[in-house]
Amino acid sequence: GIQVEQSPPDLILQEGANSTLRCNFSDSVNNLQWFHQNPWGQLINLFYIPSGTKQNGRLSATTVATERYSLLYISSSQTTDSGVYFCAGQNTGGFKTIFGAGTRLFVKA
């Protein structure tokens, strides 16, 4: 079955709007991370967040490990935020990183 599930699959925002991206993960996945893949394909680490809340500028993330979900908040979105946001986790007991299908974000000017 699906171990890392993201929603929504696609999102279009007007510049300045806020959004929340969700990641559900199964019991066999831990050590959540969020990545941003820009339109040129480069992946950037956003957060390593196995639990709790972290903030970095306009972005913040919260993981509730006991309920197997993580949220990525984007505030005051900018056109440069466009791209694909992936959450990924590690297989419990293994050494494999499993990526979700991603949320494709487009921010309109």
CB of 7 to another protein, least distance (A): 14
d(CA 97, CA 3): 11
CB of 22 to another protein, least distance (A): 16
CB of 96 to another protein, least distance (A): 6
Residue 86 to residues 70, 83, 93, Cα–Cα distance (Å): 11, 10, 22
Is the distance from CB of 89 to CB of 32 less than 8 angstroms? yes
d(CA 5, CA 45): 18
Rule CB under 8 A: say whether 41 interacts with another protein: yes
The pattern of x and - marking residues 70 through 99 that bind another protein according to CB under 8 A reads: ----------------x---x----xxxxx
Contacts with another protein by CB under 8 A: the residue count is 21
Range 19-38, binding another protein (CB under 8 A): 31, 33, 35
Rule CB under 8 A: say whether 45 interacts with another protein: yes
User: Residues in the site for another protein, rule: CB under 8 A?
Assistant: 31, 33, 35, 40-45, 48, 86, 90, 95-102, 104
